């Protein structure tokens, strides 16, 4: 059976996860949230207590753990940490450890292990440029920093977090800088990637645009 891979990359707050999940659902593909794997790795590193700036130490920890995805649930050594990985603190730590070559190397194998089993919609920062460079369709979602910060602020508000908009925007810009300037697998528009600016598009409009591109590409 011929399986297909669609990658959806982009900066924080561009809507990758929700869009990728819906596209996967509509196409009958499996959704692979690579960001969840990095957040799960951050939980493991935090619980170990090692220095998050130590590349070698972080890599050693990840060699000793087991990460699993089942539907929308995320498991660390058999423990469900789905809710825990969505906290702002873990998201920030995940962004920090993602600059380490050892962390990216350990998680790369896990991500690629899903290929060949089923058709995938994969979201992340480097899924089209590094993880699956031969994907059938590569999408790069983007939006202005202000719009992305507004979305993240609203998401946090709905979760009961008393976040300040200026702080959310500052954190987002810092994360963008780390993602774009890291030496290993920086955030880039992948080769042959199609940029979709979501600043003035509704969620449904973004989903429909990607579905249209997918149907054209996969038919071809």
Tell me, what's the pLDDT at 135? 96
The CA distance from 58 to 94, in Å, is 11
Per-residue pLDDT tens digits for 67-80? 988 878 999 999 99
Fold exhibited by the domain 5-208: Rossmann fold (3.40.50)
Q: Is the Cβ–Cβ distance between 4 and 219 less than 8 Å?
A: no
Q: Is the Cβ–Cβ distance between 127 and 120 less than 8 Å?
A: no
Per-residue pLDDT tens digits for 131-189? 999 999 999 999 999 999 999 888 888 877 777 889 999 999 998 998 899 888 889 99
Per-residue pLDDT tens digits for 11-61? 988 999 899 999 999 999 999 999 899 999 999 999 999 899 999 999 999
The CA-atom distances, in angstroms, between 196 and each of 6, 119, 144, 209 are 14, 22, 12, 8
Tell me, what's the pLDDT at 152? 87
At residue 113 the predicted structure's pLDDT band, cuts being 50, 70 and 90, is: confident
């Amino acid at each position: 059976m011929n399986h297909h891979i669609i990658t959806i990359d982009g900066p924080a707050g561009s809507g990758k996860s929700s869009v990728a999940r819906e596209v996967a659902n509509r196409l009958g593909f499996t959704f692979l949230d690579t960001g969840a794997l990095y957040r799960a790795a951050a939980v493991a590193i935090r619980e170990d207590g090692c220095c998050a700036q130590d590349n070698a130490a972080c890599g050693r920890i990840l060699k000793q753990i087991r990460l699993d995805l089942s539907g929308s649930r995320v498991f660390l050594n058999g423990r469900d940490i789905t809710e825990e990985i969505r906290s702002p603190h873990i998201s920030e730590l995940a962004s920090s450890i993602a600059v380490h070559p050892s962390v990216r190397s350990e998680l790369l194998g896990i991500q690629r292990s899903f290929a060949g089993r089923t058709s995938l919609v994969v979201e992340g920062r480097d899924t089209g440029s590094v993880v699956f460079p031969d994907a059938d369709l590569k999408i790069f979602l983007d939006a202005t920093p202000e719009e992305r910060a507004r979305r993240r602020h609203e998401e946090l508000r709905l979760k009961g977090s008393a976040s300040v908009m200026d702080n959310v925007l500052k954190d987002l810009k810092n994360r963008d800088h780390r993602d774009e300037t890291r030496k290993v697998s920086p955030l880039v528009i992948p080769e042959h990637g199609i940029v979709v600016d979501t600043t003035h598009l509704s969620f449904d409009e973004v989903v429909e645009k990607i579905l249209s591109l997918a149907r054209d590409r996969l038919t071809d």
